[in-house]
Structure 1
């Protein structure tokens, strides 16, 4: 709990600092070009850190003036709106409403203009966007500044300040992300998003509020690869670490990540990015161009992005260059498959002419004319090495992406819109070269000096194998939206398709290898007894097998519609509802690894939400400024496993305008994936050795049946959260929040090994098929022998986890610039996972987790930041903390050691030319230059035996110090 005291101290210090600062100064610095009225008003709201309400129909066809310089908000609004036929009216200390001139209505009686200028990206709020395009993750109703469940937002400003290169890197700063399986560990360089440690498929990824589907290359693991989204096209990322199936349907068990893309782009912008590790490896290059075309009725934005990354080899970092971990108190993981290699007898007897059953091939050996005597000096010795140093820990990546958005006002109250995203990517991971691992070399081999068959371990000298993959995908959305009085509606269609492929090159052909090992001709025989390659370049090339290309595909079609608005008025305000429905068809197909699968499913759903204001400030109820209840519910029907109904309830209690309480409860579900349901059945006779506890632990061979299980049902979960928010109106930039959360997940889809099934036969009686007991069996009290074991997936076990989230933010302006300080932390109180039948649940909180379990669950994770900006100059630093946790080995057995805590510091310096200081030059004006460093103090990952590489790659980054340069030039 040491860090708990540190976090409490830091939070207290932040509050004290806030209390000592004056209220935000009213004089602001503005730099707003002339533009379409709605986006101009939104931009002023952002720069002034105020809320501005305006209706789209009031700004249609209008353009606002340029505003530049130091002035108060009222002066800026007057200049912005001069000659537009619009006026601004203050409706609170930091809120304004924009109305047409001559409109006699006050703000309370207008047609509910939405907030378009809410400054500061904080937990529970959304970054300013045009009113009709507000997306509040967790609800389809226009939310209050604080919802019933906490939402964390990374605004574009935060993303730029972090210097991240991908969506996944941004989310590494999110404490609720217990672990990360990043593109250096996932198949095909993919990046998955998992909140609360609940595993793949339990966090729903949205793009502009619409769900994504499984990426083609991830059909067997069923997740969307966020590396398909180019980060320069992202406006903000909203994270709801809470159940949301009542709103969004399947997969929102641990929460929702909503990625909002840029829409209107005011000026063309060219972005260049270069990053490198001073210690070598993993350089990054990026170039992107964004621009927009807009008129009074038409708005659009386009982003084109190119990204390339070079590999990081295992030999370039100390941990992976030498796998002898005895220096850390661990085990020696070096390999026998090295050059020069090792030789041993086939039966454990001494090798001919030697007193030992094994010997190392002598250094410098040519392998020609050897006799057993040449091995006398190395008998009983072994050559060990780390061939994984030749493999890439971080793969090569190349991504080409394009994103487009357009909308057209067909009429004053009807808008047609469309979105398009395209991605073409290739990933290439170098694997260790082909080796001969414990293979028999016949006596006939031309170089065998022992005259009898022997076993060898040897690195052949072939080029490294290459695990290559690629995909091409597109996602298109089209629809209409509009207003009917106070009601708004939308109808949209979505089409997405993804084609992928993979192959491994430089694999050895087994038949040719067998022939070369047995050859008595020195020109065609493999020579594993030399210090060097196992043969000539021509011989080794002749052994390479033609690569087998695997193909994958995924697609989805969806149509959705909703209508939302007030239904009637209560004393506290209007009761708002939203009713919607959707129909979706999704499919996966692949031909890989001997599995041919082509399956689809159809889903229909109806959903509704209602927001009921129970108390308002006008009612003057003591200690209740406002009280609002929300209820959401959704019914989903799948044509494969059936139907599910999921409700969600929330309450928001504004005590006095400064202090708010909130709570939320809901259910959620994850359907079995198409792969889990329909993987083709396999029957392998006589392929599995089992230990039969009902026959006195007798060992014998049985038949094995595996594949998909069409009888699987959905996983389900219940989640609850409750918390408090403190954001005093007298200190607008300060916000503190604290939330408790709890999730219980049941009926997880798991696949058990045959021996686990046999050991728990009473739990899985239909999965163990026995023969008729013999007379001897009956006399001994034994059942018949097992004939067949079924190890297909089953719904079994679950997870119970709970903990606390805390967050503190403070933004304030002084004569010396603008300061932003923040601290967020997550504490996992419990993480009880039932993974094996007949065994108690495993407490994984504060414990490393083998990759088969998903990853490690540290109890404490925290992120703190401090940023300062003044007249174009920006300085920022960010710290990430991971508390120490119990270490385990690759078999998930605790080692008695702890993985050391990590505190990683990042820093960035930025300067925008032409803003207050610096030259005024048309080529330099508005150029934004940033130089930053990840892991400023070059902290190496702490040692852990949870992986064979010696570090926990679900928590640590082997790149270590990484330097980057970013240049942005608007035109």
Structure 2
């Protein structure tokens, strides 16, 4: 399978092997909250929630539609990202709030799709349903969320204020899977885009996302939604039943939900039909210098090895003379296609082909799924029972159960290595020496290799997730104080099944003897089921394999993943003394968490018996942490000259992890409104992320890269003079050809002393919420600058990246720099060490603006929301002595992102229109790929890229529109996502993972125009 690492990239140095893997979010548009929001502290909602209401505005003498919080029973409100109840609305940090109505009006069919929208992620990379063919953390089918482009492990996901444990399959489970969320009961989603480890603990580096469920439902609600893409494939359905009961003491709310997403294959879309190495632009055609023009059509060949193709129907032999497939001229070749009509000449039965003239397309490749299918069942129950004891306490419980069935259909090439002397080879080809002995040649030199288009193989995943939680909350001993005790246990059990080739079976099948009747049987006497491999001939090379042979060499292998997490916490909060601006508040708490992972790969994977796939050992380990935390809120002044509001908040947390030890995090925030309606705010703090269990305990994994990954392979034809110089310096001949795959060794970093990564986070800005006449309307605007710096980051450098940075270094020295992770043995076989280590630094800087305007127009109410972010820097470096490399503005890392929507409501009818916008710097990608190891730009190489590659994409817009009719007991919403069927950008292949000629970037909508209908009935 293909590998995907959000921080791994390989520079394009005169080669089409450049890879820059990106995990981005699906484009969409949803409503954006005003610059700040707040949260309630009543008995049926979490201490970290936010809602829309007018009450707190009215406390400040304002009116309108700004996002604020309701009062609790004693008149207090609580700001999101804090544990403290307050008596006045605060805007210390920017927040985004999304309501259930906004999710519906925008056409999202699940919580996952809403959370992965541009409005939430602001162009940051995500793992979504487009990555079925890639090796991703959490396994195929998992959907994760990361803010500020810092990845899902640095974003904390909460459900009703309590952290959501990871779920998924395979050893790299480390982030919450959005598929487990109860979409039917979501009331709102709050996004705090600031570090908050001093409040929430580990992982809250880039921000916190809190999903809040409905606490007021009474009766029965039936809800259904269908999303139908115009292409006729990829339809999704969601059906749910929600219920609520409220008695004198008991309150009960729950839901049952079914979701199904059908697959959308590459063959269902037109834009995937003919990927080429170059690009198409406007009315004309422009191609990079590497494009192969098919003589039969006079146009670039589809599915070359540069983009989308894979070698099939081809034989590899030691270099020898043959007739050219196209011209008939005699030449030297090492790749051939079967030609039964060729009975004479130096290579009977074969014609010579080069890189572009070999066969590289099988129609079955297009059956690979662009959108993976899934079937999900979710049940949720929350209940509270009021007591007359323990401070009028309430006992509350939350039960969440979820099961996901997902799959992915992939395409596989089969290579058969025939050993010297094999009777399966024509006599004239038996004595060649093509490759060194390998795992299927039974200890013999390889004389010939057959590249066969095998066909489609399937993989399946099943994940069962359960969270059982509950607690007790009520009045504490002191006047005005509250307490909340919570405990939960989470279970995630995954099974992953893969249909694949087995190395030992292929090896046995290639070791044959004559059956005495002109055929062959396996030489082994220990495997009675063995089926002999086919002779190398036109039929077998063309994929004509018997069912018996196919059944013998393939097997469904099954692995299991178990993840457990236990959490318990206690916090108390209340007033401590009075200040001019109100009561000073204090919150104190303790928390304990314990987590374990146990991933048991298939035995064949553990034994390294999966042919052309990585091996994997058992991942097993646990970690626990004790934490103590506190927060103090100081309202220093209110309603005095030059200080309409002056508030200060400080929090701190002491952490003691079993794995890496102890440490402190802190945060200080403040707001100052010199006059009513004009405010300034700022915050500064530290956060941390403990290494995920898989980063610590990942079982030793050996993988491979193709021989062409060696930068010195055929380096004389490289257009990078630095690589040419360095490969020559170690004594390799100019025509050197790598005959072995590159071995990649990966493991967790526990044994090497992996530590937590730390970060600093600063934000500051201005908030305008003027009091305006009703005839003018309600207006709010915030503009904030932010900067996040992650140090000591846990990461893997990436094997291909390590190799290119090693041999592309102007100060090349074996055993130094990146080359310390590379070993070239006496046979020139390469091994790359790619373990998790503390090495990276990441910086994100930018300016974010939120605007909201509303007023009565004619018979209805108009509301406009907008959110725009301009990233100033998105840089990273792998090693401490490396220069920072800024990817800001490159393809898949946009520097400008915007989300806008407008709604107009007349009585029971609401018209909604949304727009998402993504754009980047037209020169940024060229600059980024032209960076020298010292951080300067190689201008000559940049010009080379511009002359030969096209790495520019236009502004990308996604529109959605809907109409919602709301009656007393019934609501229907109908609309269109991707209203104008936005044209996907096309670039040159060679720089990014591609879908057709479009970069693989989930900010783009590959599905196209989609119609949706949602209906809700209340009883």
- Is 1:865–2:907 an aligned residue pair? no
Distance 1:791 1:174, change over 3 A: closer
In 1, the alpha carbon distance for the partners of 2:580 and 2:908 equals 49
- Segment of structure 1 superposing worse, 296-305 or 698-707: 698-707
Deviation at 1:456? 5.7
Which of 167, 174, 182 is the matching residue for 2:111? 167
Deviation at 1:906? 0.8
Which of 570, 591, 603 is the matching residue for 1:561? 570
Instruction: Give 1:622-701 correspondences, 5 Å limit.
Output: 622-680=641-699, 697=730
Please give the secondary structure, in 2, of the residue aligned with 1:542.
Answer: helix
Who is 2:721 aligned against? Answer: none
Which of 760, 763, 783 is the matching residue for 1:738? 783
Q: Deviations over 1:518-576 (max 9, x none)?
A: 78766965376249963365335433422111111111111100111001112321100
- Is 1:709–2:701 an aligned residue pair? no
In 2, the alpha carbon distance for the partners of 1:639 and 1:746 equals 21
Deviation at 1:269? 0.8
Who is 1:33 aligned against? Answer: none
In 1, the alpha carbon distance for the partners of 2:160 and 2:918 equals 31
On the 8 A contact 1:442/1:517 being kept in 2, the answer is no
In 2, the alpha carbon distance for the partners of 1:262 and 1:672 equals 34
Count of matched residue pairs? 833
- Segment of structure 1 superposing worse, 799-808 or 525-534: 525-534
In 2, the alpha carbon distance for the partners of 1:367 and 1:288 equals 65
Which of 928, 952, 968 is the matching residue for 2:971? 928
Which of 259, 279, 284 is the matching residue for 1:307? 259
Which of 122, 146, 155 is the matching residue for 1:176? 122
- Segment of structure 1 superposing worse, 322-331 or 701-710: 701-710
Which of 962, 967, 977 is the matching residue for 1:908? 962
In 1, the alpha carbon distance for the partners of 2:979 and 2:102 equals 19
Distance 1:285 1:343, change over 3 A: same
- Segment of structure 1 superposing worse, 744-753 or 318-327: 318-327
In 2, the alpha carbon distance for the partners of 1:160 and 1:574 equals 40
- Is 1:487–2:481 an aligned residue pair? yes
Distance 1:204 1:218, change over 3 A: farther
- Is 1:142–2:119 an aligned residue pair? no
Deviation at 1:658? 1.1
Distance 1:367 1:303, change over 3 A: farther
Deviation at 1:327? 3.9
On the 8 A contact 1:205/1:211 being kept in 2, the answer is yes
Deviation at 1:846? 0.5
- Is 1:431–2:474 an aligned residue pair? no
Deviation at 1:733? 3.0
In 1, the alpha carbon distance for the partners of 2:483 and 2:973 equals 42
In 2, the alpha carbon distance for the partners of 1:596 and 1:694 equals 37
Please give the secondary structure, in 2, of the residue aligned with 1:383.
Answer: coil
On the 8 A contact 1:339/1:532 being kept in 2, the answer is no
Deviation at 1:405? 0.6
In 1, the alpha carbon distance for the partners of 2:856 and 2:868 equals 25
- Segment of structure 1 superposing worse, 900-909 or 169-178: 169-178
Deviation at 1:165? 1.9
Deviation at 1:347? 1.2
In 1, the alpha carbon distance for the partners of 2:51 and 2:70 equals 8
Distance 1:847 1:443, change over 3 A: same
Distance 1:448 1:261, change over 3 A: farther
Distance 1:677 1:358, change over 3 A: closer
Instruction: Give 1:487-566 correspondences, 5 Å limit.
Output: 487-505=481-499, 507=501, 511-512=505-506, 515=509, 526=534, 529-530=538-539, 534-535=543-544, 538-566=547-575
On the 8 A contact 1:441/1:518 being kept in 2, the answer is no
Who is 1:50 aligned against? Answer: 54
On the 8 A contact 2:323/2:352 being kept in 1, the answer is no
Q: Deviations over 1:668-702 (max 9, x none)?
A: 011122222223457999x9999998995367999
Who is 2:444 aligned against? Answer: none
Q: TM-score, normalised by structure 1?
A: 0.77
Deviation at 1:654? 2.1
Q: Deviations over 1:124-153 (max 9, x none)?
A: x45899989977431111254333111111
Distance 1:315 1:133, change over 3 A: farther
Who is 2:579 aligned against? Answer: 570
Please give the secondary structure, in 2, of the residue aligned with 1:279.
Answer: coil
- Segment of structure 1 superposing worse, 891-900 or 690-699: 690-699
In 2, the alpha carbon distance for the partners of 1:786 and 1:506 equals 26
Deviation at 1:834? 1.1
Q: Deviations over 1:213-269 (max 9, x none)?
A: 222426425211111113222111111110100100101111111111223312311
Please give the secondary structure, in 2, of the residue aligned with 1:217.
Answer: coil
Q: Deviations over 1:461-519 (max 9, x none)?
A: 54x11121110010111111012431111111111110011121254666347726978
Which of 441, 458, 461 is the matching residue for 1:469? 461
- Is 1:349–2:368 an aligned residue pair? no
In 2, the alpha carbon distance for the partners of 1:638 and 1:548 equals 36
Deviation at 1:157? 1.9
- Segment of structure 1 superposing worse, 805-814 or 217-226: 217-226
- Is 1:845–2:888 an aligned residue pair? yes
- Is 1:874–2:907 an aligned residue pair? no
On the 8 A contact 2:155/2:209 being kept in 1, the answer is yes
Who is 1:298 aligned against? Answer: 250
Distance 1:339 1:52, change over 3 A: closer
- Segment of structure 1 superposing worse, 728-737 or 787-796: 787-796
On the 8 A contact 1:275/1:962 being kept in 2, the answer is yes
Distance 1:807 1:713, change over 3 A: same
Who is 2:237 aligned against? Answer: 285
Deviation at 1:340? 11
On the 8 A contact 1:271/1:289 being kept in 2, the answer is yes
Q: Deviations over 1:845-891 (max 9, x none)?
A: 1113xxxxxxx3211000010111112212111000001345759x9
Which of 143, 148, 152 is the matching residue for 2:96? 152
Task: Give the CA RMSD over aligned residues.
Answer: 4.3
5+ residue gaps in structure 1?
1-13, 19-36, 54-89, 96-118, 772-784, 849-855, 916-924
In 1, the alpha carbon distance for the partners of 2:594 and 2:311 equals 56
In 1, the alpha carbon distance for the partners of 2:655 and 2:79 equals 22
In 2, the alpha carbon distance for the partners of 1:751 and 1:681 equals 14
In 2, the alpha carbon distance for the partners of 1:302 and 1:670 equals 33
RCO higher in structure (CA 8 A, sep ≥6): 2
5+ residue gaps in structure 2?
1-31, 35-41, 281-286, 292-301, 325-329, 433-446, 521-531, 607-616, 713-724, 733-737, 807-811, 931-941
In 1, the alpha carbon distance for the partners of 2:553 and 2:72 equals 56
Distance 1:274 1:927, change over 3 A: same
Distance 1:892 1:749, change over 3 A: farther
Distance 1:805 1:614, change over 3 A: same
Which of 365, 375, 385 is the matching residue for 2:361? 385
Please give the secondary structure, in 2, of the residue aligned with 1:315.
Answer: helix
Q: Deviations over 1:579-631 (max 9, x none)?
A: 011111111110124211221111000101111011111xx2x2211101000
On the 8 A contact 1:340/1:362 being kept in 2, the answer is no
Distance 1:841 1:50, change over 3 A: closer
In 1, the alpha carbon distance for the partners of 2:449 and 2:696 equals 42
- Segment of structure 1 superposing worse, 262-271 or 575-584: 262-271
Who is 2:1001 aligned against? Answer: 953
In 2, the alpha carbon distance for the partners of 1:405 and 1:370 equals 79
Who is 2:298 aligned against? Answer: none
In 2, the alpha carbon distance for the partners of 1:424 and 1:388 equals 30
Distance 1:46 1:695, change over 3 A: closer
